[in-house]
Amino acid sequence: MVISPLRRKVLRDLRRLWAQALAIALVLAAGVATLILGNGAYASLSETRARYYGEFRFADVFADVTRAPLALMAEVRGIAGVLAAEGRIVKLALLDLPDMAEPGTILLVSLPEAGEAGLNQLYLRQGRLPDSQSADEVVVSEGFATAHRLRPGSSLAVVMNGQRRTLRLTGVVLSPEFIYALGPGELMPDPRRFGVAWLPRPGLEAAHDLEGAFSNLVLKLAPGADADRVIEAVDRLTAAYGGAGAIGRADQISHAFLDAELRQLSAMVKILPPVFLLVAAMLVNMTLSRLVTLEREQIGLLKAIGYSGRAIAQHYVEFVLAVAVVGIAIGFAAGAWLGAGLAGLYARFYAFPFLVFARDAGVYGLAALVTAGAAVAGALFAVRAVLTLPPAVAMSPPAPADYRSRMGFALQHLALRQTAVMTVRHLIRWPLRTASGIFGVAMAVAVLVASLWTFGSIERLIDLTFFQAERQDVTVAFAGAEPARAVQAVRQMPGVLLAEPYRSVAARISHRTLSRKVSITGRPAETTLSRVLSPDARPMALPDAGLVLSEALCDALAVRPGDLVTVEFLEGQRRTITLPVSGQSLGYVGLGAAMEISALNRAMHEGALISGVNLMLDKAQGPAFYAAAKAAPKTGFVIVLGRTVQRFRDTLAENITAMISVYVVLAAIIAVGVIYNFARIALSEQGRDLASLRVLGFTKAEVSGILFGELAVIVLLAQPLGWGIGHLIGLGMVTAFSSDLYRVPLVIGREVYAMASLVVCAAALASALAVRRRINRLDMIEVLKTRE
Amino acid sequence: MASKDETVFHATGLTKVYRSGAHEVQALRGVDFQARKSEFIVILGPSGSGKSTFLNIVGGLDRASGGEVWFRDHQLTALDDRGLTQYRRDHVGFVFQFYNLVPSLTARENVALVTEIARRPMSPDAALALVGLSDRRDHFPAQLSGGEQQRVAIARAIAKNPEVLLCDEPTGALDSATGIKVLEALAEVNRKVGATTLVITHNAAIRDIGDRVLRFADGRIVEETVNATKKRPAEVSW
Ligand SMILES: Nc1ncnc2c1ncn2[C@@H]1O[C@H](COP(=O)(O)OP(=O)(O)OP(=O)(O)O)[C@@H](O)[C@H]1O
Ligand SMILES: [Mg+2]
């Protein structure tokens, strides 16, 4: 095979410039990897979910009622657009497990009767489904089974509606309804404390006195049906039966969390890959500009002997494409590897029966195309100038670098050493490249700031939520509303130091065309345990009347304190009233609405009712208290806040640590890529001068200092810029991440900026040391023999 | 100060072999050499005869393969890289064919570059005055002619009051009139500063301005002539 001379030059250039080429390739690879990871994970997650939903008939509309006759189902099925409907019994029960002192919670769901098609079908992992005639057979969700080492044949003690029952496991299952299985009052799935169990109807009917009735409704809609219309119709039909308001998929917890995850992924894809590709294009441009300058005379010669501008441009594009191919290959591998890691995380958080791997050629193809495009764009930009030169001009050496102009002269009045003057003049001489260098390093800082802040943010979220607002050790929620004196019974339980009642009522709050379904919490005006915080994070007393809404809810409804909202209670007498918004509160989890408890009771036209009690416990008496709580017939479920915080912190710490390790590597790649290339180019331009200085008796350290001075200026100037850009990215992330489920506080402490700068400076130092070897090896004699 | 005929350089059996792969080039094949204080020595010889190699070893830029060189009581051939750097810094002024000025510094700054690290320098302005360039001190190299650049290089070389001044073809890139100016500058400096001066040249006419002339051929000094009377550069016919 005959290789054309120009192509041979490509190979030779690659060999000669391998370190710079590799640095660029790595930045490109980071772009490719994040593109593949982001797009791939997005596609994988959304396709897995879609397929799971499709195959297992995930419902479109969900509604809870107190007790509705099964006869109502005929009317429900008659609603226009409803394809299938199922009336189920869904009830919480307490878990009484030998390996857990505190009571866990299990959600019991009735299985469809034989012959019913069934929505939210189960995926059987192990064993078999319960016999429809059996009263004690049950299948449980996989996460829960794993956490407690339950297998078909194991038995499970639960307290259903105050009655203790022992159930027998026949199988382990997954359900599209509980891909993200969040227990009541929890912030993170905790499969130890919360599980889902499916059992035949008769057992549940008997325990809850629901013969011939249902407490939960799931609907599948015909394609193209208007979900809002159906929801309205369902609400009308179920109102008389204690309907708590139907919801669509968007408000179904499991689905909504997956949506939030998908939104974060798409935000990541919008931010990270462009950063890398931009930096890579800049690096290609920087490096190639220098190469082209060095080869200017050769280019002129090639043109003179008849090579077309195109052919010469193609030569440089080939060089860059070769670099891009390496970058893309590394990026593919890294992207696939990181993707597998992320899929592993998903598998732990989300209970999928399978994961559809989006090894979609499209994702890879797109990533390769975009990346190669960025590289080639950077190259053409660099080559353009030389190609337009007439051959004769190109063949003569370029005019010597002109240092006369600009602010160079101002330096004479500063008492700088001449070596420092060299440093500054060289930076000023190439303003575009200097700016690119600063920008590139700033991006590395920014990527770090934008990832490192999450630690502090989570800590603040935890502090505000659990140490300022929800300070109770335990919350005991009753199965239904109880008279206020029920608090006395709880106060009598062992270890209770302080007990404060609360009322929690499902309601729809509307303002103009906006509305949200929330639960309004009634509390005494001043509380010690569960407190409402003002926007400046101080505990606030609840007003005599009117609602205090969280900032998130105020935003969602577009209201401000002083506005009036319509409140439609979805419990009790189901009154609809108008209430003023009397205050705004701080809250990052969910949409919060609070009222003074007796005002809430009055507004509901009910007596002094409470839904549960917040407690401060004497830790030493925990087990005794938990035993009493399990035995109390009114206990619906128990939330142990200490465990919730622990779980929250552990899980997030693990995820964030994994994420931040990736980001630190990515930022280091940018920093090294930019600084190493910058240093090599500066060295290529000034190597002759530096070698001359060595001849004059300057030491290796002094000579390196001139070049390192340039790097130091770049790195220093990049810091504030990087902090600023990082802050902006953080702001964008907060916006992208916030949903009705949670918000993230943007707190970027000084330690975040310091850490980001530290990592980048370390990367800069490493690149500088790599170049130092070349400075030390500068050939003094060589530069004396040749003209520049 | 030591006496006028104090020996500054003393070299014996100096050899240099360049190895590139299997290939060997004998650049120096045993050079014996002495130079006294303030002596002005002209070095002649055909291309490839080892003149630059010799000058670079004497200037501490390169290492000999064999033999010894002494500068006063420093044995250059025994110094490590750090020691050679210190030697160049403290004692040697260089002038090269291609000037090797720093393009981002003005004439004055190029001189100041060296005076900043020298032990007993003259002021950069005084050095530029010696070579007659006071009025061009704020010009960058790109704004100066070749001869002017070379005179800046000389100013830079002498500004530290060096004990030795080593010049490798200082006029090689210049026309004759300019070359004479540069040589006059060198002769002037040699007289005023008293530096032992070694000048390599291809121009045999220049031989008359030196105290002594060495001829190199094939890696050896093959001829040594002592001039009874030195001519001034302007007097030699180019
Ligand atoms: N780095 C090197 N590697 C190999 N050979 C070298 C090297 N430097 C010089 N030489 C060889 O050593 C010999 C002497 O070279 P030197 O540069 O000292 O000659 P010169 O007398 O200065 O010649 P000129 O007048 O052309 O400058 C030559 O044959 C040259 O090819
Ligand atoms: Mg020579």
- Assigned token pair, A507: 């309601």
Report chain A's terminal Cα–Cα distance, integer Å.
37
Q: Span A184-209, mean pLDDT?
A: 90
**The pLDDT of residue A598 is above 60:** yes
CB contact under 8 A, A696 and B109: no
Q: How far is B228 from chain A (nearest CA, A)?
A: 33
Q: What is the mean pLDDT of residues A741-762?
A: 92
Among A413, A425, A427, A784, most B C-beta atoms within 10 A, so best to mutate, is A784
DSSP annotation of B1: -
User: For residue A606, is pLDDT > 50?
Assistant: yes
Each domain of chain A, given as residue ranges in start order, spans 1-61+256-398, 90-209, 405-470+642-788, 496-617
Over the stretch A25-72, which tens digit does the pLDDT of each residue have?
999 999 999 888 888 888 888 889 999 999 999 999 999 999 999 999
Q: What is the DSSP string of A656-687?
A: HHHHHHHHHHHHHHHHHHHHHHHHHHHHHHHH
pLDDT one-digit tens code per residue, A697-708: 999 999 999 999
The shares of helix, strand and coil residues in chain B, as percent rounded to the nearest 5, are: 35, 30, 35
Q: Which residue has the tokens 């969900």?
A: A62
Nearest CA in chain A to B100: A692
Best residue for ligand 1 mutational test, from B19, B24, B53, B168 (most atoms within 8 Å of Cβ) = B53
For residues A186-206, average pLDDT:
90
Q: In the structure encoding, which two tokens stand for residue A776, read together?
A: 């030390």
> Percent of chain A, pLDDT > 90?
57
State yes or no: pLDDT of A330 exceeds 90: yes
Query: In angstroms, rounded to a whole number, what is the distance separating the alpha carbons of residues A394 and A656?
Result: 54
Counting every residue, how long is chain B? 238
Q: Is the CB of B25 under 6 A from ligand 1?
A: yes
Query: pLDDT grade, residue B71 (50/70/90)?
Result: very high
Q: Are A300 and A393 in contact (CB under 8 A)?
A: yes
Q: What percent of chain A has pLDDT over 70?
A: 97
**Per-residue confidence (pLDDT) for residue A232, from 0 to 100:** 93
Model pLDDT for residues B13-27, shown as the tens digit of each residue: 999 999 887 889 999
Distances in whole angstroms, Cα of residue A122 to Cα of each of A59, A175, A198, A201, B206: 13, 5, 9, 16, 103
| Residue matched to tokens 């890691």 | A341
On whether the CB atoms of residues A760 and A674 are closer than 8 A, the answer is: no
Say whether A402 and B142 touch across the interface (CB within 8 A): yes
Q: Kindly provide the residue ranges of all beta strands, DSSP E only, lying in B37-119, ordered along the sequence.
A: 40-44, 66-71, 74-75, 92-96
Q: What's the average model confidence in pLDDT over B169-196?
A: 85
Rg of chain B over all Cα atoms, to the nearest angstrom:
17
Beta carbons within 10 angstroms of residue A657's beta carbon: 11
Beta-bridged to residue B162, according to DSSP, are none
The amino acid occupying position A167 is: L
In the predicted structure, residue A405 carries a pLDDT above the cut 60: no
pLDDT for A215: 95
pLDDT above 90 for A761: yes
Q: Which helix (H) or strand (E) holds A37?
A: helix A18-55
Residue of the nearest CA to atom 19 in ligand 1?
B48
Which tokens in the block code for residue A734? 């907060």
Edge-to-edge strand list for the sheet holding B7-20: B23-36, B7-20, B66-71, B74-75
3-class SS of residue A736: helix
Is A420 in CB contact (< 8 Å) with chain B? Answer: no
Contact B142 A400 (CB under 8 A): yes
Whose CA is closest to atom 6 on ligand 1?
A: B18
Average pLDDT over residues B209-238: 88
Read off the pLDDT of residues A78-101 as tens digits, 9 standing for 90 and up: 999 999 999 999 999 999 888 888
Distance B10 CA to ligand 2 centre (A): 21
Average pLDDT over every residue of A591-602: 94
Give B110's contacts in chain A (Cβ within 8 Å).
418
Neighbours of A306 (CB within 10 A): 8
pLDDT tens, A49-60? 999 999 999 999
Integer Cα distance of A291 and A681 in angstroms: 9
pLDDT band of B79, cuts 50, 70, 90 = very high
Q: Residue A56's pLDDT is what?
A: 94
Read off the pLDDT of each residue in A480-500 and give the average, rounded to a whole number.
94
Q: Look at residue A403 and tell me whether its pLDDT is greater than 80.
A: no
Q: Are B66 and B13 in contact (CB under 8 A)?
A: yes
More confident residue, B171 or A153: A153
Mean pLDDT of chain A: 90
Chain B within 8 Å of A781 (Cβ-Cβ)? yes
What is the mean predicted confidence (pLDDT) over A710-727? 96
Interatomic CA distance for residues A557 and A510, integer angstroms:
7
pTM: 0.87
Distance B52 CA to ligand 2 centre (A): 4
Residue A410, pLDDT above cutoff 70: no
ipTM of the complex: 0.92
Which domains are delineated in chain B? 37-66+81-235 (3.40.50.300)
pLDDT of residue A707: 93
Question: What's the burial of B16, exposed, middle or buried (CB within 10 Å: 0-12/13-18/19+)?
Answer: buried
Query: How far is it, in rounded angstroms, from Cα A543 to Cα A596?
Result: 7
How many helices (H) and strands (E) chain B has is answered by: 6, 10
* pLDDT band (50, 70, 90) for residue A117: low
Neighbouring-strand partners of residue A289: none
pLDDT at residue A499 in the model: 95
A697 and B92 within 8 Å at the Cβ level: the answer is: yes
pLDDT confidence of residue A150: 94
Q: Which residue has the tokens 């012959």?
A: A115
Asked whether B53 lines ligand 1 (CB < 6 A), one says yes
Tell me how far apart the alpha carbons of residues A157 and A138 are, in angstroms, rounded to a whole number: 11
Please, what's the b/e burial string for B37-56 (b: 16 or more CB within 10 A of its CB; e: otherwise)?
bbbbbbbbbeeebbbbbbbb
First to last CA, chain B: 36
Query: How close does chain A come to B109, measured CA to CA in Å?
Result: 6
Residue contact A401–B94, C-beta within 8 A: no
Average pLDDT score over chain B: 90
**Predicted pLDDT of residue A2:** 64
Mean per-residue pLDDT for A664-677? 92
Between the CA of B76 and the centroid of ligand 2 the distance, in Å, is 21
pLDDT at A412 (0 to 100):
62
What's the rounded mean pLDDT across residues A306-316?
A: 86
Structure tokens at A727: 């802050």
* Rounded distance between C-alpha atoms, residue A1 and residue A13, angstroms: 20
CA distance A565 to A557: 9
- Mutation test of the interface with chain A: which of B61, B95, B98, B104, choosing the one with the most A Cβ atoms within 10 A? B104
Residue B2 pLDDT level (bands cut at 50, 70, 90): very low
pLDDT tens-digit series, residues A412-454: 667 788 999 999 988 988 898 999 999 999 999 999 999 899 8
Query: Considering only A409-423, B71-85, B127-141, which range has the smallest mean pLDDT?
Result: A409-423
Residues with CB in 5 Å of ion ligand 2: B 52
Reply yes or no on whether the pLDDT at B212 is more than 90: yes
Order of strands, edge to edge, in the sheet holding B40-44?
B92-96, B164-168, B196-200, B40-44, B212-217, B220-226
Dist. CA A380–CA A288, nearest whole Å: 9
What residue spans of B104-145 are helical by DSSP H? 107-115, 124-130
pLDDT above 60 for B3: no
Q: At CA A253, angle to CA A249 and CA A259, rounded to 5?
A: 65
- Give the type of residue at A630: K
Distance between Cα B144 and ligand 2 center (Å): 25
- C-alpha A123/C-alpha A607 separation (Å) is 45
